[in-house]
A and B are shown apart, each in its own frame.
Chain A
């Protein structure tokens, strides 16, 4: 390519590349600003609970012992669901939560890393051995939602899923101990 042809075209291409780089920089800055803005003003953050638990003994006593799993309504009306995620099942496999109320979901695992999401909601977190994963949500529609494991955890991973049953407030009736389970309904 001769000098007289190359110079103007190369300059034009360089100008186009710089214009493109500027446009992409503006886009990235705008998207990052939007994420930071919503984090600061609307408290939209990734799950960040840091709470330790011994994975070897969590099923023997304490919060994640068998009798404490599932949905519990406390005296002050708070709703907490405790779930163990383990190869290759959730315990319990079905959860009942009311529509339109804030629910706290707490997960722990005795074996490997799992991940959960609930379809149609923003609930999405890793469950790491040694830590309690905690998320909040308010379910806006009644019906059954799928809660699969979304972090490959072994050969049975694809069989690891649970049901989140969202019921109208009028049908959410805790027993005298404050427990609600799918089997009661």
Chain B
């Protein structure tokens, strides 16, 4: 690669934003739903696991203090 040629990556501010605004808007319309489902399912599994251990293991073992 010739070193005397300037690269667009040398200065990020000069990189032309090639994102199609309409396409971005279209993607943004559905992304929150997908992210919400993924995050919701993850948190739901975590909470179910916590509750199962708390209610079925920790409480039946009784107090120690």
List chain A positions with a Cβ less than 8 A from chain B.
1-2, 5-6, 9, 12-13, 16, 19-20, 23-24, 27, 31, 34, 38, 42-49, 121-125, 135-138
Question: Number of residue pairs across A and B with beta carbons under 8 Å?
Answer: 61
Residue in chain B with minimal CB distance to A137: B64
Some 19 contacts from A to B, beta carbons below 8 A apart, are A1-B25, A5-B22, A9-B28, A9-B29, A16-B33, A19-B36, A31-B47, A34-B54, A38-B59, A42-B59, A43-B63, A45-B65, A47-B64, A121-B64, A122-B61, A122-B63, A122-B64, A136-B64, A137-B64
What's the dominant secondary structure at chain B's contact region? helix
Q: For the complex, give the distance between the alpha carbons of A38 and B21 in Å.
A: 54
Partner of B39, one of A20, A124, A135: A20
- Are B65 and A48 neighbours in the complex by a CB distance under 8 Å? yes
A123 CB contacts on chain B under 8 angstroms? 64
Q: What CA separation (Å) do A91 and B38 show in the bound complex?
A: 51
Complexed CA–CA distance, A42 and B36 (Å): 37
With A16-B32, A20-B39, A27-B43 already in contact, the answer to whether A1 and B65 are too (CB < 8 A) is no
Q: Which residues of B contact A38 (CB under 8 A)?
A: 59
B36→A20 contact, CB < 8 A = yes
